[in-house]
Structure 1
C-alpha cells in the first residue's frame, strides 16, 4: 500500500513517481514545489489530472485554469499545456492513456 502524502516536497520543480503502469495506462503521483518548471508539455497521449492537495494554475490552449483540491482536468493528446504556478506541496494524481479518454 502507498500513501500519496508520504512523498517529500521537492525544493524546485516537480517530482514524479509512477504508481501503476501497463501497455495502455500510466498512473503517477506528482508533488510540486512552489517554483514549477516553465516547461510546455505536448504529449502524444491523453492525460487526466486530479489535484489532491494544494492549488495550481495551468495554461491550456491560452486559457489560465486554477485548480483546487478535488478538481479534475482532462488534457487531450497533442494539447500544449504548462503549469504556471503551484502551492508548495501540491499533490496530483495523473492518468496517461494510450487511447483517447473521450
Structure 2
C-alpha cells in the first residue's frame, strides 16, 4: 500500500506522535513527529533492541546517560546500541521534527556497512 511519510499527522501535535510503519519479530520502523517535545525529565530509554534514527525534517537533541549530547538536523542519523540509556532532551519548538526510528534485534555491528 502506497503512503507518504509527510502526511497523516497533526501540524500542531499536543503530544509526540508515534506511528509504526512496519513491524515483525526482528524489526520495528516508526515515524515520530515532535514539536518542542522532550522525554520525561526522570528516567531513561533502556531498550532491548538497537535503534537507528534519522531526522527527515526539523532538529532534535539526544542526551545519553553519560552526559554526551548529539544534535541531529535534517538528514542526520545516529545508531544507538541496545541498553545505551538515552532520552530526547530537545526538539525544535518552532517547526515539526520528523524522525524515522528503526528498532532491530541482533548484536551491535551486525549488517553494518
TM-score (norm 2): 0.82
Over the residues paired in the alignment, what is the CA RMSD in angstroms? 1.4
SS of structure 1 residue aligned to 2:70: strand
CA–CA distance in structure 2, aligned partners of residues 27 and 101 of structure 1: 17
> Which position in structure 2 is the counterpart of 1:32?
34
Q: 2:14 aligns with which of 7, 11, 14?
A: 11
- Deviation string, structure 1 residues 6-48 (Cα, Å, up to 9, x no partner): 1224223x21000001111111100012132325211011000
> Which position in structure 2 is the counterpart of 1:96?
103
TM-score (norm 1): 0.90
Q: 1:86 aligns with which of 91, 109, 113?
A: 91
> Which position in structure 1 is the counterpart of 2:24?
22
Which 5+ residue runs of structure 2 have no aligned equivalent?
Answer: none
CA–CA distance in structure 2, aligned partners of residues 40 and 3 of structure 1: 31
Q: 1:75 aligns with which of 62, 80, 85?
A: 80
> Which position in structure 1 is the counterpart of 2:57?
53
Q: How many residues align?
A: 101
Q: Which runs of 4+ in 1 moved over 2 A?
A: none
> Post-superposition shift, 1:101?
4.3
Structure of higher CA gyration radius: 2
